A = this chain, B = another copy of it.
């Protein structure tokens, strides 16, 4: 069994942002030289997400509105968590979007359907934050 590990770093310009990280993950799969296995990709921070969906800007605006409806950022004092920081909504938003994805590696490639793309979802940005990529297989 082989294993591979890499950290990807992000520092978004905006508080909330979606970044298509599929090309970076494809690079990891190549570097790993693993042909058959499973890849885990997770946010290492609890106010960010890694998720799979469509790379379509209209949809990303819909996600933003959807998440703001379910877990609005403001007013800050609606959340008990907001004492030193005002990021309670970011914890809730990331919960809806999910912490991680697990992807099959087949024939040395991400085993994806036609529109699957991996995104880093930042909900409390403008600081250095990390994503972990771990692959095991052969």
Give the residues in chain B near A81, CB-CB below 8 Å. 54, 56, 58-59, 61-62
Residues of A within 8 A of B (CB-CB), count: 57
- A42 to B103 Cα, complex, angstroms: 8
CB–CB A116/B1 < 8 A:
no
Whether B71 pairs with A138 at a CB distance below 8 angstroms is no
Interface residues of A in 116-138 (CB under 8 A from B): 116, 130, 132, 134, 136-138
Is chain A's interface secondary structure helix, strand, loop, or mixed overall?
mixed
Q: Which of B83, B99, B115, B116 contacts A101 (CB 8 A)?
A: B99
Shortest distance between the CB of A40 and any CB in chain B (Å): 5
* The stretch of A13-21, A24-32, A44-52 that contacts the partner chain: A44-52
Are B46 and A136 touching (Cβ within 8 A)? Answer: no
List 20 A–B pairs whose Cβ atoms lie within 8 Å, in order of A's numbering. A1-B1, A3-B138, A5-B104, A5-B106, A38-B134, A42-B104, A45-B113, A46-B113, A51-B95, A53-B91, A53-B95, A54-B91, A58-B80, A58-B81, A59-B80, A62-B81, A96-B96, A98-B98, A98-B99, A113-B132
